[in-house]
Amino acid sequence: MAMAHKFNPDEQAKLSGFFDYYINSTIPPNKIWRPVDNVTHSFRILPPWSARGATALQVFRYYQRGLQQLSFVSPTFFGEEDPFLATKKLMWRIYKDEKSNKDFMWDYNQIGGSDLFYYNVIVNSEKEKGPQVWGAIKDIHVVIAAMIQGGEYGLIFDEEEGRNLTMMITRQGLKPTPVVLPAGHASKLENLEWCSQLHDLDKAIRKPNVDDVWACYETIPWKYISVGNGLLQMREAPQTVFGLTKVQPQMKDDIPTSWPAADTTATPFDPTAYKKESTAALPSPVPPQTTDSASRFEETKRIQAELRAAREAEKLNK
């Protein structure tokens, strides 16, 4: 009788691991950490993965949008146009005046997204896996960034004098409430070889099919948004159309990168201690310097060019 082969859970995970909407195939499924709610997790953030010196990569993502229930990273991450983001920026300008309009708010909620911050981590209960990739929600990232910037705990990601973190996520309905605490003392990373096994997060983000993104956008049964009021993005048009002058192009978009700005419920650190310039996202584009009429298309192209230039500069510095 032939001997049965021994089951290898790691190989099975590579073949049938949970599909990740935002991470591409450069990261095996068994190398993506997904913390379970209502469990105390112990983990450690690893040092920067590249010469850029960043420990976290910020992406703006959408979850189950449109009739297709499509989940994807904003195409702006790759220097391409995002009709959802363009529409959201225009809607933000009239949000205070229209937020009581049910049709406006229905459309507003259809195109919302949120930030994720990807880290290389060691999960202490899964050390045999080595470095894993973890996508932290903004509430958690704010707390971690405050720890790093506060100075009281040092560089918590340092391989020689970093700190373990403990975390528990509870949930009321769909809203998570994370609590993140640092270890009481610094310690040396157990295996320094992990620092040479870090995942290149810059190359790990799944690029969405732009045709799918536009199909998702165009099939949403809008109730308020239309070409007439200047909110509906037209893919083939040379520039966004503004019809009834309700929404006009402005010199500067003063909206946040995620809408609306949510109050963090993470404890015990003060989220106001977090400074935006501290983490790994690409630099924010400079606001437009001209007020050409209806020039949203040109503005988008300029921002795309800045993003592409920033990424090319990063490649040259590596």
pLDDT, tens digit, 9 for 90 and up, residues 205-259? 999 999 999 999 999 999 999 988 989 998 864 344 333 334 444 444 444 343 3
Note the pTM of the prediction, 2 decimals. Answer: 0.70
d(CA 74, CA 2): 51
pLDDT at 73: 96
Cα separations in angstroms, 32 against 21, 122, 139, 218: 12, 11, 20, 32
**What confidence category does residue 175 fall into, taking pLDDT thresholds of 50, 70 and 90?**
confident
100-129 per-position pLDDT tens digit: 999 999 999 999 999 999 999 999 999 999
88-98 per-position pLDDT tens digit: 999 999 999 99
Q: Which CATH architecture has domain 17-317?
A: Alpha-Beta Complex (3.90)
**What confidence category does residue 188 fall into, taking pLDDT thresholds of 50, 70 and 90?**
very high
Q: Which of 117-126, 258-267, 278-287, 294-303 has the largest mean confidence?
A: 117-126
